[in-house]
Chain A
Amino acid sequence: MAQAAIDVRAGELRQLVNRKYRFIDRKWDFMFWFTAAFVVAAAADITRLLFAGDWDFWTDWKDRQWWMTITPFATIIIPSALQYIQWRAWRMPTGATYTATCLFVAAWIGRTFQWHFFVNYPMNFIWPATWIPAGILIDFLLLETRSFIITSVIGAGIWTIAFWASNYIMLAPFLQPTTFIGHTLTVADVQGITYIRAQTPEYLRVIERGSLRTFLQEPQYVALAFGTTVAVGGYWIGQFIGRYLSVWPIGRFLKQI
C-alpha cells in the first residue's frame, strides 16, 4: 500500500518534470545557460586572479609547491557554489564542469586577445590551466554520492590531484633543462627571463626555492596534501556562497512576492 503511494507520487513528479512550459518558450533554458556563463566565468576568473593570479599566468610561476597548493583552493570556491545551486535546483551534477568550461573559454579569450595580440606575449608562456577534468570528476562524485560532505572531502583531493596531473602534461615540456646566460635553467625560467615583464621582476615569483618541508626530498607530496586540505576549506566557502548568499536570499525573495 505504502509502495503504491510512493509510486503514484513518483509518477506525479515525473509528469511535472516533463510538463510543457506554459508562458515562456523552451529557448529560455538555452538563454539561461548562455547568459549565466558570462557571470560564472567572471566570478571564477576574479576568484582565481584574486588568490592565484600570477601562478596561473606564467609558465615560470607554475611550480610544484605553491601553484598546486594555492590554485586548487582558489579555483574550487565557485565550482562548489555552482554545484550546490545546480544540484539543489535541478539535480544536475554540472556546477564544477560548467564553471570550468566557462572559465576555460573566458581565460583563452582573455589570454589570446589581451596578452598575446595586444602586448605580444607568446601563448606558450601565458596559457591558462584547465580545470575541466577536475570538474568532471567531482561532478561525477556528487552524482554518485549525492553528498556534499563526501564530495568536499574526497572531491577536494580529486580536484587537487586532477588539476595537477592534467596541467602537468602541458607543463612538462617547459620543465626541460637548458643552458641560458651561463646557468642551467628550465625552458619556463628562460621564458620568464626572455619575455620581459617590466613590472613583474623575477624575485616576485613565489615558487619552490628549497625547503625543509619536503617528503623524500620532494615537496610536491606535501604540497598535494596541503593543497587538498585547503581545497576542502575552499569547497565549504563555496558551499556557503551557494547556500546563504545565493539560494537562501532568492528563496526568501520569491516567498515575499
Chain B
Amino acid sequence: MKMKRRFALSLLGSAMALAGIAFGSTTASAHGERAQESFIRMETVGFWDTQFSKTTVQQGEDITLTGTIKILETWPNNLSNGNPSVCYFTVVEPGAQFVLKDRVINGLQAPQSVFCHKGGTYQYSMTLAGRAAGSWHVHPAVAVEQSGTIIGPGTWITVNQAASGFSYPITLLNGQKIDLESYGTPLVVGFSLLTFVLGMWWMIHWTWSRPTITRLAVTNQLPLNQDGGDAVGLVTRRDHRISATIAGVTVVLVGAGFLWQAFAFPGKIPQQSDWVTPPALAQPASTATATLTNAIWDPAKQIMTLTAEVKNTGTTPVTLTAFRTAYLTFVSPTARQPESGEYQMTVSPAGTVDAGQTSTFTIQLPGSVLQQEELVSVGKAQMAVAGIIELNDAAGTRNMATVQSSLNPTAT
C-alpha cells in the first residue's frame, strides 16, 4: 500500500512539474541581438527606411516589411573571410507565428538565398501574413553565410484571431489546391502509425512472457551464433514463422506504399536550389562623403562623442541628419524630430556644409541607449564604432556614408 501511495505521489508530482513547465513558461520576445558582440552589429550591415505596413492584423492578413540594407565596407575580416557572398533575407520572430508569402530584393523575386557582396545595397520587400494570434516582436534580418543572422530594427505586431482560423492555400502545378497547413499530414501520421503497429507486433511477440534472467543464464552457455533451436526453446520454429510473417508484411507494406506513391504523386521533382543575383540598385550620384576621425567613450558622463569630417562634393549644401548603427537610428534635431524607435543626438556646430567645403562635426550619442544595447565595445577584442552617417542635400539626395573609428575610452 505504501509503495502504491509513493508511486501515485511521485506520478502526481511529475505531472504537476510537467504542467508547471508547460503552462508556466512565457514566450521569449527578445531574439538575443544584444548577445552579439557590438562590432558584429556595427560593422557588418546597415539598415535604414525599415517600414512595417501594419502593426495589427487578423490571422491570414498580409503585412509588408520594406527597407534597405547595406553590407558595409567595414565588414570585418574574421566573418565570412571578409567576403560575404551568400545572403538570406528573412525575418526574426518567435517560432512560426507568421508565414512568409513573398520576398523581393532589388526588384527581383527571391524565394531562397541570394548572392551578395561587400558594399552592396539591397532594397527588400517581404510580405508576411499573421498565422498565430498573439503579440509578436518582429525584425527584418539578413543572414550571411559563414557569419550568422544580423538583426534589423524590430516592432511589435499584434495578430488577432480570425473566426475562420488560419489556412494557407496554394495550387500545385497539376492544378490541385492544397492547404499547406495540413497537406500530407494524414499520410505521414497514418503510415508512421502503421509502422509503429508492426514494430509493436514484433516487440510484443519477442518480449511477452519471455524471461530475461533465465534466458541470460542459458545464452551464457551457448556460442554467439547458436540459439539452440526448438530443443532449448530460446528461439522456436513458431518464432521463425511469426517473424517471417511480420517481416513479410513489412516488405509488402513498404513495397506497396512505394508503388502507390509513384502513381499517386507523379511528376515529383527534387528540392530546388534556386539562388539568384539581385540587380544592382540604381544609386544617385554621391554629393558628399564623411569619415570618422575619432570616437571617445566617456563612462562618467555616459556619452559617446564622434568626430566626423564631412566633405561636400556636390553643388548644393549638405546637412548631417542621422547616424545609424546596428538597428539604432540617432537623428540630428536640426534635421527632424526622432520618430518612434529613434533617438536624438547632438551635432555641433549645427548647420550645413557648403558646396566644395569640408567641415568637422562633433556628434554626441546618448550613452544610456548604447549601453543598454551593449554597443559600447570598451574592454572587448575590437574596440570600435562603425555605422552610417546620412548626409542630405537640398535636392533631396541622400548620401549614406559608411564610417568607422577606433573607440578611445577616457577611462577603463
CB distance from A94 to the nearest CB of B (A): 5
**Residues of A contacting B: mostly:** helix
Asked if residues B219 and A97 are in contact (CB atoms below 8 Å), the reply is no
Question: Is residue B269 within 8 Å, beta carbon to beta carbon, of the partner chain?
Answer: yes
Cross-chain contact B172 with A187 (CB below 8 angstroms): yes
Q: What are 14 contact pairs spanning A and B, CB under 8 A?
A: A7-B231, A119-B94, A124-B184, A133-B195, A137-B247, A172-B261, A176-B173, A178-B173, A183-B109, A186-B271, A193-B112, A196-B93, A201-B145, A208-B273
Chain A's closest residue to B259 (CB) is A169
**Chain B residues with Cβ under 8 A from A170's Cβ?**
184, 187-188, 191-192
Bound complex: CA A202 to CA B88 (Å): 7
- Chain B residues with CB under 8 Å of A106's CB are none
Residues in B neighbouring A193, C-beta threshold 8 A:
100, 103, 111-112
Q: Which residues of B contact A57 (CB under 8 A)?
A: none
**1/0 contact trace for A176-215 toward B, CB 8 Å?**
1111111111111111011111110111010111100000
Contact B195 A166 (CB under 8 A): yes
Interface string of B167-194 (1 = CB under 8 A from A): 0101111101010111111011101100
Q: Which of A7-37 contact B (CB under 8 A)?
A: 7, 10-11, 13-14, 16-19, 21, 24, 26, 28-29, 32-33
Instruction: Report if A14-B233 is in contact (Cβ < 8 Å); known contacts: A92-B210, A170-B184, A173-B265.
Output: yes
User: CA separation between A210 and B214, bound complex, in Å?
Assistant: 56
Residue of A nearest to B129 (CB): A194
Interface check B369, CB cutoff 8 A = no
User: A166 to B80, alpha carbons, bound, how many Å?
Assistant: 39
B358 interface hit (Cβ, 8 Å)? no
A120-B178 CB under 8 A given contacts A10-B228, A201-B88? no
Closest to A182 in B: B109
Q: Cβ of B251 < 8 Å from any Cβ of A? A: yes
Residues in B whose Cβ lies below 8 Å from that of A174: 183-184
Q: How far is the CA of A61 from the CA of B272 in the complex (A)?
A: 11
Residue count of chain B within 8 Å CB distance of chain A: 106
List the A residue with the shortest CB-CB distance to B18: A113
- The answer to whether B268 and A172 have CB atoms under 8 Å apart is yes
* Chain B contacts for A92, CB-based, 8 A: 206-207, 210, 215
Q: Is residue A42 within 8 Å, beta carbon to beta carbon, of the partner chain?
A: no
In the complex the two chains form, is B113's CB within 8 Å of A202's CB? yes
- Contacts A146-B227, A170-B188 given: A175-B269 contact, CB under 8 Å? yes
Interface residues of B (CB under 8 A from A): 22, 31, 86, 88, 90-103, 109-113, 131-132, 141, 143, 145, 149, 168, 170-174, 176, 178, 180-185, 187-189, 191-192, 195-196, 198-200, 202-203, 206-207, 210-219, 221-222, 224-228, 231-235, 239-240, 243-244, 246-247, 250-251, 253-255, 257-258, 260-262, 264-265, 267-275
Decide: A172 and B264 in contact? CB cutoff 8 A. yes
- Cross-interface CB contact of A122 among B86, B182, B253, cutoff 8 Å: B182
A54 at the interface (CB under 8 A from B): no
Residues in A whose Cβ lies below 8 Å from that of B243: 93, 139-140, 143
A18–B275 Cα distance when bound, in Å, is 65
For A210, give its contact among B109, B261, B273 (CB under 8 Å). B273
In the complex, whether A168 has a CB less than 8 A from a CB of chain B is yes
Residues of the A chain whose Cβ atoms lie less than 8 Å from the Cβ of B170: 178, 180, 187, 190
Task: Provide the bound-state CA to CA distance between A90 and B211, in Å.
Answer: 9
Contact B233 A104 (CB under 8 A): no
Per-position contact with B for A100-127: 1 when CB-CB < 8 Å, else 0? Answer: 1100110010000100001111111001
Chain A minimum-CB-distance residue to B261? A172
Which of A90, A162, A202 makes the CB contact (< 8 A) with B215?
A: A90
> Contact between A185 and B111 (Cβ–Cβ < 8 Å)?
yes
Residues on A with C-beta less than 8 A from B254 are 133, 162, 165-166, 169
